[in-house]
Structure 1
Amino acid sequence: MVQVKRTPLVDQAADLLFDRIRSGEWTLGSKLPGETTLAPQLGVGRSTVREAIRQLAGRGVLSTRQGSGVFVTALDTPEDWDTVLRRADILAVIEARTAIECEAAALAAERHTPAGLRAIRQALRKRAEHRSEIESHVDTDTAFHRAIVAAAHNPILLELFDSFTPRLRGAMIDMLRIRKTHGGDADHATHQDLAKAIAARDPEAAANLSRAHLESLKNALG
């Protein structure tokens, strides 16, 4: 016998309730029927209704008032809640990248060896070759930025970057899926300019380019 998993059922019930709210069945400020009424209407148990209400309350659509019931507090949400949470995580990752990569870029400009510069340029070429598919683009982009961190010759920064990479990869893939565009010529030119600033041993320009690039990622998320 196949059992229906609880979490998807809760999501389905929440979606049904939300659709009814958006359709105007309940107006702003109105009180929802009780769990015993909603459960058979939604085809689920009372506990599932309770969880669905809790989910919509977390999204700001419903409000539970002790002893009074559940009330409609919004008729819609600006965007899918999963997207909101993903965007918040992406912003946190970009802020962490800024803390690590801007300093690393400046240090790389000061400290890079010929071998380190060759690694940066090789990673940049590979990045240019993998701009069409999201996952490979993120992987080659990450390899480019790692080469810069390695060229900074600070083992702590490199350790931080490496430990951070799995979280970074997931967030960057999510970001590109949300944006639906990636790998443009202007974006790649920014990375070329960063490599040139490092090669020119200009730490201020390298740090500024790194920061401006990461700020542009934040701004693109809205």
Structure 2
Amino acid sequence: MTLRTARRSSLVDQVIDQLKGEIVAGAWAVGDKIPPEPVLSETLGVGRNTVREAVRALTHAGLLECRQGDGTYVRATSELSGAMRRRLRTAEILEILEVRRALEAEAARLAAARRTDADVAAIRRAQACCEEALASRDRTAFVEADLAFHTAVVEATHNRVMIDLYGDFREALRAGITASLDLLEHGDIEVPHSPIADAVVAGDAEGAERATHTCLEAVFRFLSGLPSG
């Protein structure tokens, strides 16, 4: 860890900033259990009440989750991500897919115009992982591969705001994708990533946007009960 002794007057704010810094830097990943209160108190050189207030504030912000009798776990990497996770818990799957489609379609369009050789390589690697997960029918692996693929496309936009926004949305989206796959378990649904990758690599912005819509359309039709024609 990179925690350091707090020295200025606003100790609670300093501790909040340092704990948040550890989360953002990845020292504590989402799902990880953070050190207990006495350890944090000693490491930071502050009282346990100060640590307790900081943890309470980050819990309220949605970054941490206190589990009675177990400890405190990282729940999200930012306030926005935490807020979206709370909202998506009550959102309909179709609502989540609508937002996802809007973000990913625009990202694919921009990526086709801005991708670099390094971006192309990352997209192709992620595409291969998706195909491998589909072939093995490993749903858990597919969720992660699918997110990694679309993240690679988003990163190819080189739009920092979109990248950060999708990063926050991605954490909350994982549960939605898993829920969709649970419902689709007995359906014959194809999730075609190769047309998106091919269009982005070819610099075809309209084709990339169109392929992204198509990628989710079968899932939309299945979940909404619309006819496939």
Question: Is TM more than 0.5 here?
Answer: yes
- Whether 1:153 and 2:162 are equivalent positions in the alignment is no
Instruction: Specify which of 112, 116, 125 is matched with residue 119 of structure 2.
Output: 116
Matches within 5 A, 1:1-222: 89-131=92-134, 132-181=137-186, 186-187=190-191, 190-222=192-224
In structure 2, how many angstroms separate the alpha carbons of the residues matched to 1:113 and 1:134?
Answer: 30
Whole-Å separation in 1 of the counterparts to 2:203 and 2:124:
15
Read off the aligned partner of 2:197 and give its amino acid letter: A
Aligned residues: 135
For 2:116, give the aligned amino acid: T
String of CA shifts for 1:136-173, please: whole Å, max 9, x gaps: 11001110010000001111111111101122110110
CA distance in 1, matches of 2:103, 2:140: 22
Residues in 1 aligned to 2:90 and 2:218: alpha-carbon distance in whole angstroms: 14
TM-score by length of 2: 0.55
Once residues 187 and 213 of structure 2 are traced to their aligned partners in structure 1, the CA distance between those partners, rounded to angstroms, is 19
Query: 1:59 maps to which residue?
Result: none
Distance 2:139 2:187 in 1: 8
Residue 152 of structure 1: SS of its match in structure 2? coil
Measured against aligned partners, the alpha-carbon deviations of 1:84-132 in whole angstroms (never above 9, x if no partner) come to x989521111111112111100000000000000000001111122221
Which of structure 1's runs of 4+ aligned residues deviate more than 6 A? Answer: none
TM-score norm. by structure 1 comes to 0.57
Q: 3-state SS of the aligned residue for 2:193?
A: helix
Alignment-mate amino acid for residue 181 of structure 2: L
| Bigger Rg, which one | 1
Distance in 2 (alpha carbons) for counterparts of 1:193 and 1:117: 14
Deviations 1:6-36 (A, max 9, x none): xxxxxxxxxxxxxxxxxxxxxxxxxxxxxxx
RMSD between aligned residues: 2.1
Distance (Å, rounded) in 2 between the aligned partners of 1:203 and 1:173 = 29
2: distance between equivalents of 1:117 and 1:183? 29
Residue identity opposite 2:204 in structure 1: D
> In the aligned structure 2, how far is the partner of 1:158 from the partner of 1:214?
20
How far apart, in 2, do the equivalents of 1:139 and 1:87 lie? Answer: 22
Counterpart residue number, 2:76: none
Question: Partners of 2:211 and 2:161 in 1: how far apart?
Answer: 22
Deviates further, 92-101 or 102-111: 92-101
Gaps of 5+ in 1: 1-84
Code of the residue aligned with 2:117 in structure 1: it is P
Could you say which residue in structure 2 is the equivalent of 1:13? none
Q: Give the distance between the partners of 2:164 and 2:89, measured in 1 at CA.
A: 25
Q: Percent identity?
A: 36
> Mind listing any 5+ residue stretches in structure 2 that lack a counterpart?
1-87, 225-229
| 1:44-91 superposed Cα distances (whole Å, 9 cap, x missing partner) | xxxxxxxxxxxxxxxxxxxxxxxxxxxxxxxxxxxxxxxxx9895211
| Partner Cα separation in structure 2 for residue 174 and residue 180 of structure 1 | 10
CA distance 1:182–1:218, change in 2 (3 Å):
same
Q: Which amino acid aligns with 2:138?
A: E
